[in-house]
Amino acid sequence: MAVPATVTMLLIVAAVLPIVVIRTAEARAFFVFGDSLVDSGNNNYLATTARADSPPYGVDYPTRRPTGRFSNGLNIPDLISERIGQSEPPLPYLSPELTGRRLLNGANFASAGIGVLNDTERAMRGTNGGCSAELQRAAALFNPQLDEVLSELNREIGRDVFVGVNTAQMHNDFVTNPGAFGFATSKVACCGQGPYNGLGLCTPASNLCPNRNLYAFWDAFHPSEKANRIIVEQMFSGTAEYMKPMNLTTILQLDART
């Protein structure tokens, strides 16, 4: 069912990654809510240890400087912004630069450290180089129930407003078969310390790989920019296995007709 131009489209992602896209007469405003997977710098303005405002974060960002993104370069909202034709991604809502016409672009309300589980990455709970089977089962139980909740909400509203994004499956694809996506490894993070570079955040004293494109994970928790690009591509073109009830390309096509 087509979504009217004035109605928001909310993406609920298995990793707690809600994203709202609102179409206006001139362009699409983009509002982001979530955790460190989509934080573009809000935690720079908060008293928290969950920060990405020092090197080597941002080593592959266009400015080659840390911005508060938990990535070596661009994150998921950056890449979605590119695909929907925004001149720049939405700024952190705490940024003093979020004024004037920039407000028409939307805003990013994500904050690192608000995730539900923080103890699945391999170094803490895994065995023999694999993820924690117990916690993986917990996620496998949660995600189908989330799909059903979203379907019920859409039925109550009478239109497809909520879209579920199966980021768990998107990650599992390149975790189980990294070579198919051009990665050398999905077991070891590019930047970090401890087993598999899997303890804590990345710091100037951390191990740092020379070629980030060969690693599925940038640090102990977050995909590399290359992996983020794979995730966003699935958001736009993925089948029902990844996007329910439709992908972003279909959403934007329906939106353009209304």
Residue 3 lies in a domain: no
Residue 2 lies in a domain: no
Please tell me the predicted confidence (pLDDT) of residue 160.
86
Residue 221 lies in a domain: yes
Give the C-alpha separation, 175 to 230, whole Å. 12
235 Cβ contact list (under 8 Å, min separation 6): 11, 80, 165, 242, 243, 247, 248
Cβ–Cβ under 8 Å, residues 219 and 192? yes
Residue 62 lies in a domain: yes
Please tell me the predicted confidence (pLDDT) of residue 125.
59
Residue 4 lies in a domain: no
Residue 258 lies in a domain: no
Q: Which residues, given as ranges, of the chain have pLDDT below 50?
A: 1-17, 24-25
Q: What is the domain range of residue 198?
A: 9-253
Please tell me the predicted confidence (pLDDT) of residue 251.
87
- 3-state percent helix, strand, coil for the chain, nearest multiple of 5: 35, 15, 50
Q: Can you tell me whether residue 184 is helix, strand or coil?
A: coil
Cβ–Cβ under 8 Å, residues 27 and 104? yes
Q: Show which residues are catalytic.
A: 36, 219, 222
**Domains: count for the chain:** 1
Give the C-alpha separation, 231 to 216, whole Å. 11
Residue 1 lies in a domain: no
Whole-number CA gyration radius for the chain: 18
Please tell me the predicted confidence (pLDDT) of residue 24.
47
Please tell me the predicted confidence (pLDDT) of residue 200.
84
Please tell me the predicted confidence (pLDDT) of residue 168.
85
Residue 156 lies in a domain: yes
